[in-house]
Amino acid sequence: MPRLLAARALTRVLDGGQTLEGALAPLLAGSSDARDRALTRRLCHAALRDWPAIDDALEELLRKPLPRRAQPVRFVLVVGLAELRERREPDHAVVHCAVEAVRAGGWGPLAGLTNAVLRNYLRRRQVIESRQIRDPVLAWGYPAWLIERVRSDWPESWQEVLSEGNRPPPLVLRVNRRCWTREEALKALQAVGLAAKAPRVPPDALILERHAQVSSLPGFAAGTLSVQDGAAQLATEALELGDGLRVLDACAAPGGKTAHILERASVDLTALERDPARLERLESNLLRLGLNARCLVADASCPDDWWDGRPFDRILIDAPCSATGVIRRHPDIRWLRKPDDIEALAATQRSLLDALWPLLAPGGMLVYATCSLLREENEHQARSFVERHEQIQVVEQSGWPGRSCDPGHQILPGEAGMDGFFYLSVRRLSG
């Protein structure tokens, strides 16, 4: 039952601090119905996007807090309120499904309470929602610290940035040009009734006009198509690849950019990942695509532990970051990330940049990328790096969506349909 599964997943995220993907994976493993899996995810996303307002409404609607043993019912109510606030289904159907989810979970005695709370919300919805719209946290659905950071960093567009984080993202595909052209892939999708458009950039992207079951896409199982946002695909463009280059992907898992590099050029690629489980996932993705790389469990910031002494022609640092640019895809980020995390992440990013710059061959290119919106991780980090090092030349990106920074290039969520990403491309000069 999707609503019961969604409630259990939300319990693990909001009470247990798990990522949404980590919470959903075991819960959905036994579900063979693609529609149920999709609905479960959608309900979780809706609840996480609107969590402060839903939690606030529950505090008002419940006459007294539920006992600890009844907390699972609270999250069934969270799912029900999220559905009612979305207004995608008839109100009576939402209430009925929530009551049935409570009964299916073994909390039958609380079915009446569930019905009463949701119907009470329907009676008082206008008053509650009118009150909530005056509170930025309740209105936008973000923690106060993050609203303030976005507003400070993007004073002219902060509202659109926050709004975009609450919109469902498009499904973007990457065409494996080793297998076929983008035009051939477009025709194959159209042949099975899936309309798509080919954006100007990046050149391997296709944007589906409606969501579809990924595993059923033509050629997906054979590795001819992959799911990857257009902003992430730009990493390969920034690297200016060519056959025969020696390439390092320093923070490689789950492997989307690794695979794209190998699809675009015949290179000698080393992929690093600190987490053995994440490296295993990377290797699995490469296997599906029929691609090969030297995959190592290693900390990229400690080259003495893994580097063979031969310089790289290209280095990609897809750095650990706040992921504030992909909140529309991962709404749990806004509740799992904490203000103190940013300083720690910036320190990690600085360590990676300084450790890997000496590994770059003269004439080679290093690309630093984050899926962050925050200047501390992006423009400020990039400027500090360039100022600390000699024989370094910033490479400007022309023709990309977004805006040039000093230095680097920032794409905000929704621009050209893309996620929020930052890129810095630098070349090591000879001499």
Please report the pLDDT score of residue 213 as a whole number: 87
Contact by Cβ (8 Å): 14, 334: no
As a whole number of angstroms, the distance between CA 285 and CA 282 comes to: 5
Q: For residue 355, give both structure tokens.
A: 């450790």
Maximum pairwise Cα distance, the chain: 78
- What digits encode the pLDDT tens for the residues 268-288? 999 999 999 999 999 998 998
pLDDT-wise least confident of 16-25, 208-217, 398-407: 208-217
**Residues forming beta bridges with residue 315, ordered by sequence position:** 248, 366
Query: Around 92, how many Cα atoms within 13 Å sit in the side-chain half-sphere?
Result: 0
One-letter identity of residue 107 = W
pLDDT at 431 over 80: no
Q: Which residues 6+ apart lie within 8 Å of 24 measured at CB?
A: 5, 9, 40, 41, 44
CATH of 171-227, one of 3.40.50.2000, 3.40.50.720, 2.60.40.10, 3.30.70.1170: 3.30.70.1170
Please report the pLDDT score of residue 90 as a whole number: 96
pLDDT at 313 over 90: yes
pLDDT at 133 over 70: yes
Question: Would strands 225-227 and 409-411 be described as parallel, antiparallel, or unpaired?
Answer: unpaired
Extended strands (E) in 333-376: 360-370
State how far the alpha carbon of 142 is from the alpha carbons of 15, 160, 324, 428, in Å: 17, 13, 11, 40
SS3 383: helix
Mean pLDDT of the region 223-240 = 96
Could you give the percent of the chain with pLDDT greater than 90?
91
CATH number of 2-141: 1.10.940.10
As a whole number of angstroms, the distance between CA 369 and CA 374 comes to: 12
Please report the pLDDT score of residue 216 as a whole number: 86
State how far the alpha carbon of 88 is from the alpha carbons of 42, 46, 63, in Å: 11, 11, 28
- What digits encode the pLDDT tens for the residues 30-48? 877 888 999 999 999 999 9
Q: Which residues 6+ apart lie within 8 Å of 181 measured at CB?
A: 175
The residue to which tokens 């930025």 are assigned: 136
pTM over 0.85: yes
Mean pLDDT of the region 397-417 = 95
Q: For residue 294, give both structure tokens.
A: 């030297």
Mean pLDDT of the region 299-321 = 97
As a whole number of angstroms, the distance between CA 388 and CA 367 comes to: 16
pLDDT at 215 over 90: no
Contact by Cβ (8 Å): 118, 80: yes
Contact by Cβ (8 Å): 370, 319: yes
One-letter identity of residue 365 = M
pLDDT at 67 over 90: no
Contact by Cβ (8 Å): 94, 86: no
Contact by Cβ (8 Å): 222, 250: no
pLDDT-wise least confident of 63-72, 82-91, 332-341: 63-72
Other C-beta atoms closer than 10 Å to the C-beta of 381 total: 25
DSSP 396: P
State how far the alpha carbon of 83 is from the alpha carbons of 19, 47, 95, 206, 280, in Å: 21, 8, 9, 30, 36
- What digits encode the pLDDT tens for the residues 289-300? 889 999 999 999
Name the residue among 42, 128, 20, 38 with its Cα closest to residue 86. 42
The reply to whether CATH 3.40.50.150 applies to domain 230-428 is yes
Domain ranges of the chain: 2-141, 171-227, 230-428
Q: What is the mean pLDDT of the chain?
A: 95
Q: Which residues 6+ apart lie within 8 Å of 421 measured at CB?
A: 231, 232, 234, 325, 369, 370, 371, 410, 411
Q: Which of 44, 251, 321, 371 is catalytic?
A: 371
The verdict on whether 179 is a catalytic residue reads: no
